[in-house]
Amino acid sequence: MAMNFGELSGIKQWGVVILGGLLVTVGLYFGLFKSQNEKNTAAQAALESKIKENNELESYRPRLKQIDQELAELKQQMEIEARVVPDEKQEDGFIEMIDSEAQKAGIELRRYAAKDTTQKQYYTEVPFDVEADGPYYSMLKFFDQVQKLERIVNISNLLVSTTRNPSGAKTKHSYQYAPNESIVASFTATTYFSHDTQPSAPAPGAKPGAPAVK
Residue 212: pLDDT over 70: no
Task: Measure the CA angle with vertex 90, ends 86 and 92; round to 5°.
Answer: 140
Q: Which residue has the higher pLDDT, 36 or 193?
A: 193
In a domain, 52, yes or no: yes
Residue 48: pLDDT over 90: no
In a domain, 53, yes or no: yes
Per-residue confidence (pLDDT) for residue 156, from 0 to 100: 93
Per-residue confidence (pLDDT) for residue 47, from 0 to 100: 80
With a pLDDT cut of 90, the percent of the chain lying above it is 24
In a domain, 84, yes or no: no
In a domain, 141, yes or no: yes
Question: In CATH, what number is assigned to the domain containing residue 165?
Answer: 3.30.70.60
The β-bridge partners of 124 are 119, 193
Please give the average per-residue pLDDT across 46-72, as a whole number: 74
Q: Which residue has the higher pLDDT, 58 or 15?
A: 58
Distance between CA atoms of residues 90 and 97, nearest Å: 11
Q: Both 175 and 106 in a single domain?
A: yes
3-state SS class at 96: helix
Q: What is the pTM of this model?
A: 0.54
| Banded pLDDT at 161 (limits 50, 70, 90) | very high
Distance between CA atoms of residues 103 and 147, nearest Å: 16
Q: Both 112 and 186 in a single domain?
A: yes
> CB count, 10 Å around CB of 125?
15
The β-bridge partners of 118 are 125
**Domain range enclosing 126:** 91-194
Per-residue confidence (pLDDT) for residue 122, from 0 to 100: 78
Beta carbons of 131 and 151 less than 8 angstroms apart: no
Per-residue confidence (pLDDT) for residue 195, from 0 to 100: 67
Q: Both 149 and 96 in a single domain?
A: yes
Q: Which of 126, 209, 90 is nearest to 82 (CA)?
A: 90
Please give the average per-residue pLDDT across 137-150, as a whole number: 91
In a domain, 199, yes or no: no
In a domain, 138, yes or no: yes
Q: Tell me how many domains the chain contains.
A: 2
In a domain, 66, yes or no: no
